[in-house]
Amino acid sequence: MATKATQAAKAMAGKAVKTAQAAKAARAARTSGASGASGVSGVSGVSGPADYDAIIVGGGHNGLVAAAYLARSGARTLVLEGRPKTGGAATTEAPWPDAPDFKVTRLSYVMSLLPPTIINDLQLERHGYKIYPMGPYYQAFPEGGSIKLYADDAKRNHDEVSKWSKKDADAMPRWDAWLAGLADVLGPLLLTVPPNIGSRKPRDLSETLRLAWRHRGLDVRTIADVTRLMTMSIAGLLDDWFESPQVKGALAVNGVIGTWAGPYEPGTAYVMAHHSIGDVGDGHLGNWGFQEGGMGAVADAIARAARHAGAEIRTGARVSQLLLRNGRASGVILENGQQLTAKVVVTSLHPRTAFLDHVGRANLPDDFVTDIEHWKTRSGVVKINLALAELPDFTADPGTNLQEHHTGSVEMAPTMPYIERAFTEAREGRPAVRPFSDGVIPTAFDKTLVPEGYHIMSLFTQWVPSDWNEAPHTEELQAYADRMIDCYNEVAPNFKSSIIHSDIVGPYEMEHEYGLIGGNIFHGELSLEQLFHMRPAPGFADYRTPVPGLYYASSATHAGGGVCGIPGMQAARAAIADRRATLRRK
């Protein structure tokens, strides 16, 4: 682990080290470059051989991916999950005690970002990973009519968009090609470990140069396009391409998903790109899919892969603190007081929990503490899960029989001003009167979630005020959900009466039950100042942390959020690489 130790020491060298403990840790790392130096600092550690080679804090999908990679490398690996089940925000649950046969993907709901590298390395298909590619985006408009947008069918897109604007229909293939070109640039960056930009140390400089060299083929136009994407609002970008409010509304959805920002805010164009550069393995860029068995089944498949490789997974095992020996991570303390030691610890929790609560401010450099304190983690998301007796019967596309428009996203985002109004109301401290929703009906394909003849509809909705993580707001959430349902009822008049069960998850529950601080779905906003080399803090975007022996695998690192597993894979790779470097040196 010496490379890690050296890295952390390097990172600390330019920073004010807050306490003697941290200074001592940095010195120990610099001089020994080794793990397990004797003596105790920070929270008292236990001497003697470690219980495990690696402990993973948090059994969300990223923690499980990290565990699978570490176990495959031969490390004795333990995952500690605080909840009674693994999966974190990738969870399938039966929220209605009187209807245990109805299962919902309670939080995250669709797949796209998990790269083939991870699917293949962990042989996830063997362990139960099975995706049904989704149908088109569908929006039925309150004033009548509808639009469908396909991820992979230019001819039908042309027909659909022509209903609203011939000019936009002609622009659509160019837009798709433009996005594909940008995905060629941005896609590989998702799997790139961000360099420590600004550092003058030789290794950091060479990493930065290597990245620049990789992109030497980019021309002036492409760099300009990337710049636009990184700096513009999704509204501004779409205004450059399209004229029809209906088309722009449909294309704006991906720009505001999970974001504490309306479509006119700079940076939302990038959020759209983040949600548009994955594919579900079928080669269609931007396509999304439903996991059979819900999103919990993705986490289950990864957990099976981890166990298959030898990892041990404990649930109901909540970690309360990191154990430090000589400033180096040496294990954890559970809430029940049990201490478990390990040569390395990988934490996959929200940065405030992982660093400020578990490591403690006194054991971290001042700059890093400030960065984590300033970490933006709002979103105002409310998830509404519904069990339906029949499919929505849209006035624009009648029938309760399963039709194509039921198989993809069933949106409530008719225009950009509609979405903007929902955000403005929440920013002013009121829940949206007419919320925006990204709805899906996974049971259009997946028959494992409900008894025959029934359906689940999952509504990812925004916004409520960003401080609703501080109190349950139960009655107001119910009223908000009722208004959301009314919006769908306007375009599908059987909708309200078809609902037999409902489940509302607001920011307070997301924070207190699932550890999503502030209710942010990605462990931190995807705002420009929190991307790439800034995620989660400058100088520590390489999945290492200021504490030697502690690695970071949460969605708050580069490529997160989303169910993409990349943070878990990269943190494990960093730990494995550092261990190999230490062994080589020895």
- Three-state SS for 103? coil
**CB-based contacts of 552: which residues, under 8 Å, 6+ apart?**
346, 347, 348, 351, 354, 536, 540, 543, 544, 545, 567, 571
- Contacting range for ligand FAD; rule: CB under 6 A; set: 29-37, 167-175, 180-188, 517-525: 517-525
Query: Binding string to ligand FAD for residues 536 to 555, with x set by CB under 6 A, is what?
Result: ------------------xx
Residue 199 or 341: which CB sits closer to ligand FAD? 341
Cβ 77 vs Cβ 314: under 8 Å: no
Round to whole Å and give the CA distance between 420 and 462: 11
Cβ 394 vs Cβ 492: under 8 Å: yes
Alpha-carbon dihedral of residues 292, 296, 302, 308, nearest 10 degrees? -90
To the nearest whole angstrom, how small is the minimum distance from the Cβ of residue 161 to ligand FAD?
Answer: 25
Here the tokens at position 229 are: 């994407």
* Residue among 147, 344, 441, 510 that touches ligand FAD (CB under 6 A): 510
Q: Residue 104: which of 495, 467, 504 has the closest Cα?
A: 504
* Residue among 50, 57, 252, 306 that touches ligand FAD (CB under 6 A): 57
Length of the chain: 586
By the rule CB under 6 A, 60 interacts with ligand FAD: yes
To the nearest whole angstrom, how small is the minimum distance from the Cβ of residue 18 to ligand FAD?
Answer: 23
Round to whole Å and give the CA distance between 215 and 212: 5
By the rule CB under 6 A, 469 interacts with ligand FAD: no
Cβ 406 vs Cβ 441: under 8 Å: yes
To the nearest whole angstrom, how small is the minimum distance from the Cβ of residue 176 to ligand FAD?
Answer: 22
For ligand FAD, the binding residues in 405-464 under the rule CB under 6 A are: 460
By the rule CB under 6 A, 522 interacts with ligand FAD: yes
By the rule CB under 6 A, 503 interacts with ligand FAD: no
Here the tokens at position 75 are: 């490390």
Phi, psi of 131 (to 5 degrees): -110, 135
- Contacting range for ligand FAD; rule: CB under 6 A; set: 17-25, 101-109, 152-160, 166-174: 101-109
For ligand FAD, the binding residues in 354-413 under the rule CB under 6 A are: 381, 383
For ligand FAD, the binding residues in 318-357 under the rule CB under 6 A are: 318-319, 348-349, 353
- Contacting range for ligand FAD; rule: CB under 6 A; set: 129-137, 389-397, 513-521, 540-548: 513-521
Query: 111 - beta bridge partners?
Result: 289
To the nearest whole angstrom, how small is the minimum distance from the Cβ of residue 74 to ligand FAD?
Answer: 23
- Contacts with ligand FAD by CB under 6 A: the residue count is 40
Number of alpha carbons in the 13 Å side-chain half-sphere of residue 228: 17
- Contacting range for ligand FAD; rule: CB under 6 A; set: 31-39, 79-87, 441-449, 526-534: 79-87
- Contacting range for ligand FAD; rule: CB under 6 A; set: 75-83, 123-131, 443-451, 575-583: 75-83
Number of alpha carbons in the 13 Å side-chain half-sphere of residue 90: 33
Round to whole Å and give the CA distance between 258 and 520: 7
Please tell me what DSSP assigns to residue 60. Answer: B
By the rule CB under 6 A, 62 interacts with ligand FAD: yes
Alpha-carbon dihedral of residues 85, 87, 88, 91, nearest 10 degrees? -90
- Contacting range for ligand FAD; rule: CB under 6 A; set: 52-60, 163-171, 444-452, 482-490: 52-60
Query: 149 - beta bridge partners?
Result: 137
Q: Is 178 exposed, middle or buried (0-12, 13-18, 19+ CB in 10 A)?
A: middle
By the rule CB under 6 A, 465 interacts with ligand FAD: no
By the rule CB under 6 A, 83 interacts with ligand FAD: yes
To the nearest whole angstrom, how small is the minimum distance from the Cβ of residue 521 to ligand FAD?
Answer: 3
Binding site residues, ligand FAD, CB under 6 A: 57-63, 80-83, 88-90, 107-110, 113, 318-319, 348-349, 353, 381, 383, 460, 510, 514-516, 521-523, 554-555, 560-563
